[in-house]
Amino acid sequence: MNRKAGVLLMATCVMLAGFATSSVADDAATQKAVLITGASTGIGRNAAEKLAAEGYFVYAGARKAKDIEELNKIENVMAVRLDVTSQDEIDAAVKLIEGEGRGLWGVVNNAGVNVVGPLIELEESDLEFLFDVNIYGPYRVTRSFAPMIIESKGRIVNISSISGTLSGPGYGIYSASKHALEAFTDSLKREMDELDVKVSAVEPGNYNSQIGLTRCQRMVDESDETNYTYFEEYRLKALARCKERLANGDGPGGAEPDRVAEAIQHALFDENPKEHYLVVPNQDEARWTITKAFEELLSLNQDHDYSYSRDELIAIMDEEWAHISGEKSEEE
């Protein structure tokens, strides 16, 4: 090869390399990126896989090295070591994502844990553990990533639960954490509206998830140190069920959370996201949740100086229906 041809070849290589670098940079700038906490299993993993398959870039938060390794094998996914109870790990995740240069369009606060038991028998440490993940976790993550989300005028999605409306025996502190997350979401939405950031809550029912099995493992691990005074029979029955599930290798059961992932995608990317997404696998769970909301409304309205009549309540409901659905009233 003569000198002239060599120079020409070198120039061509440099030009192509520059074009490739530019293309990668362009892709990074145009591909919307989201962070999903608790993405190793269940709803978080399902949503990460779906969004990545749709062409979005997903930063998938996980705690265990094995989960991080598995997540990194998925196209359009970068695993991020992220324990939502550790501000140091959250800060490191912020620095990593900032350094990637994609910006950040959305945060999905999905990481969560479950603790069950009678309220008067549980230890204060149980509440601290649960709220540290389910409430302080979303607070820490949202506060830390807020500057990036505000810059992109993006989205924040909190994964709540039908337990944010329902509550029952044994589920007091879990429901309390999800009720708190509902209030957190409602207030955050009003505040972030001022900054052109949209906030939604997704309230799943009983879908296939590892949260119950993880709870069972903790119950078995702590069984030698736990005794109830008034509800020991309840504890022993629950413990026996957990031991059986773990011994048989039973999966979490229930429908796969595909519809939950669809709701998350809608909340993240639709031009008009909803404030709340009730996503349940059957009619019964929908009825339980909606009926409970009605019960609370009617109880609040009952026997006080400013109670509304049935007709007045229906008129208010019609107004809200028109507002939410975008319909015009007949008078208009």
Active-site residues: which are they? 174
Are 181 and 131 spatial neighbours (Cβ–Cβ below 8 Å)?
Answer: no
State how far the Cα of 145 lies from the Cα of 104, in Å rounded to an integer: 8
The number of beta carbons lying within 10 Å of the beta carbon of residue 240 is 10
Largest CA distance in the chain: 98
Helices (H) and strands (E) in the chain, counts: 12, 7
Q: Please say whether the beta carbons of 86 and 133 come within 8 A.
A: no
Burial 152-161 (b: 16+ CB within 10 A, else e): bebbbbbbbb
Tokens of 170: 């044994």
Q: In terms of C-beta density within 10 A (0-12 exposed, 13-18 middle, 19 or more buried), how is residue 223 classed? A: middle
d(CA 174, CA 12) in angstroms, rounded, equals 62
Single-letter amino acid, residue 115 = V
Q: Residue 297 to residues 56, 185, 187, 251, 300: CA-CA distances in angstroms?
A: 40, 20, 20, 37, 5
Q: Are 38 and 112 in contact (CB under 8 A)?
A: yes
Dist. CA 222–CA 239, nearest whole Å: 10
